[in-house]
Structure 1
């Protein structure tokens, strides 16, 4: 049994990230899957997904995994990205130089919370939770999933 205080979540997307991953295809799928969300909320989710997946593609060896989870109890979408690097994301710096390195800064501004947790294989999971701008469940802005 689940009460409204519990965070029962459904998977919106669960895919492998590889060098051949097309961010535009991921964004297109999520736009369709989350079409009932407010446009601003959906845009924030797409931006966080783009930044976290880009970090895997540009800053870690190997492949990764993306999961997008939607809370049934509140207006919240959680993005989780697994990768094979034990190194945490660097806030505001990039080994690629130049004007790079603002992805985690953007995630920090948008997400209600974000962070990392180690995985058993020596890598990590980077996660971020994004809520509606009004931070409430409201039938007109962010309906719960069925």
Structure 2
């Protein structure tokens, strides 16, 4: 997902376990991406919140969050691994009628998002532009 010859640098790499607070994740990302414009940072924080919340709310066990940044063009890649083979479902949640819009939000904000199967679950990823 990076251009030939260009590496994406890790911004955040941490386990997603019950008890993880989104406020601590957002603080760490805000510090790590302090040079981003306010709107771009908000988009990244929103996508991270939705994808990490999905792991905590809908999958057994925990997962892993990786946030990578490529400079040219500026793109932030969010990857969340989990142990479930179930795919995110747009617009529906077993947690109630006012839930289930997270993947729609991710889809609308991201340049691209998707799912990569793994032998022990899946990785849900999203690419968010930080250019301009």
Same fold (TM over 0.5): yes
**Structure 1 unmatched runs, 5+:** 142-146
Distance 1:118 1:12 in 2: 23
Structure-1-length-normalised TM-score: 0.85
Q: What secondary structure sits across from 1:15 in the alignment?
A: strand
Distance 1:51 1:107 in 2: 7
1:8·1:73 contact (CA, 8 Å) conserved in 2? no
1:25 has 2:24 as partner: yes
1:108 has 2:107 as partner: yes
1:45 aligns to what? 44
**Structure 2 unmatched runs, 5+:** none
Match of 1:126 among 106, 124, 127: 124
Q: Which protein has the larger Cα radius of gyration, Structure 1 or Structure 2?
A: 1
Structure-2-length-normalised TM-score: 0.94
1:144 aligns to what? none
Please, what is the CA RMSD of the aligned residues? 1.3
1:31 is displaced (CA, Å) by 0.4
Aligned length: 130
2:13 aligns to what? 14
Question: Deviation string for 1:28-54 (max 9, x for gaps)?
Answer: 010011010111000000000000000
1:20 is displaced (CA, Å) by 1.0
Give structure 1 regions of 4+ aligned residues with deviation exceeding 6 angstroms: none
